[in-house]
């Protein structure tokens, strides 16, 4: 009986590891495709694309949901995201950021679950109002007393995180833009695969795009030469 249970447990663990590897591989392939599509755009399309900000800072807040284990249902949470991007090409940014799922229910009703990830990735902007972000990094999953804002005795474990987000920013201004972002994140730690989703209001502050082109000097007035004719 014990051998049967051990074999079943080992088989379940191998299946979980296989699922994690498949999802990580899918994420890696999507990042490669993202970079290839961004790099293979026709020169005419890149020239027609408005110049994106050289550096930007984006912050999002909204409702979210997080699973405490790979087999349990989603629990409501507060989703918070913050990213800083540096332009690589006109359509591609290198992104560093943090995503947080806060105050979700854990398997223990008296405690809440929070997941914070710090990651690096890429953001692709095919049109000014739409962008796709893909990131991977590390995450910390903590449990604390439910209702407490800060718990110095909270238990935390580190793991791996990978996620993607799609944003639509219909409000476009010179120095800022605003809209909505939806994201999905996978966190693997302690042999468990957790998933977090969020729908947030997003505000992006943009730095200047670079040096402004110097305006050409005003053209000198043309004076028509008039000659005197003698009869």
Q: In this predicted model, what pLDDT tens digit does every residue of 138-147 receive, in sequence order?
A: 999 887 776 6
For residues 204 and 84, the answer to whether their CB atoms sit within 8 Å is no
150-172 average pLDDT score: 84
Model confidence, pTM: 0.67
Q: List the chain domain ranges.
A: 2-206
Instruction: For the chain, give the mean pLDDT.
Output: 76
CA 13 to mean position of chain CA atoms? 30
User: 2-206 has which fold?
Assistant: Porin (2.40.160)
Which residue is listed with tokens 């305006």? 215
**At residue 27, does pLDDT exceed 70?**
no
Measured CA to CA in angstroms, residue 109 lies from 69, 80, 104, 106 at distances of 14, 23, 10, 6
84: which 2 tokens?
Answer: 């800083």
Structure confidence by residue, pLDDT tens digits, 66-114: 987 666 788 889 999 999 999 999 899 999 999 999 888 776 777 788 8
Per-residue pLDDT, 46? 46
Q: Which of 36-40, 68-72, 115-119, 227-231 has the highest mean pLDDT?
A: 115-119
> What is residue 148's predicted lDDT score, i.e. its pLDDT?
63
Cβ-count burial of 131 within 10 angstroms (0-12 exposed, 13-18 middle, 19+ buried)? buried
């Amino acid at each position: 009986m014990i051998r049967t249970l051990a074999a079943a447990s080992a088989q379940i663990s191998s299946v979980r590891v296989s699922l994690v590897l498949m999802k990580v591989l899918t994420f890696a392939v999507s990042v490669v495709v993202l970079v290839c599509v961004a790099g293979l755009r026709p020169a005419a399309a890149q020239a027609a694309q408005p110049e994106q900000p050289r550096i930007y800072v984006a912050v999002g807040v909204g409702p979210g949901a997080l699973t405490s284990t790979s087999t349990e249902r989603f629990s409501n949470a507060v989703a918070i995201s913050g990213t800083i991007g540096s332009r690589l090409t006109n359509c591609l940014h290198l992104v560093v950021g943090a995503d947080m799922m806060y105050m979700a229910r854990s398997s223990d009703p008296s405690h809440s679950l929070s997941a914070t990830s710090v990651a690096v990735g890429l953001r692709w902007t095919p049109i000014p109002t739409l962008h796709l972000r893909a990131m991977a990094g590390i995450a910390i999953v903590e449990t604390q007393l439910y209702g407490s804002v800060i718990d110095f005795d909270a238990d935390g474990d580190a793991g791996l995180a990978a996620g993607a987000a799609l944003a639509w920013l219909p409000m476009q201004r010179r120095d800022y833009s605003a809209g909505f972002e939806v994201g999905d994140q996978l966190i693997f730690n302690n042999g468990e695969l957790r998933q977090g989703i969020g729908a947030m209001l997003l505000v992006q502050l943009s730095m200047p795009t670079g040096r402004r082109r110097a305006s050409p000097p005003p053209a000198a007035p043309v004076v028509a030469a008039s000659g005197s004719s003698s009869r």
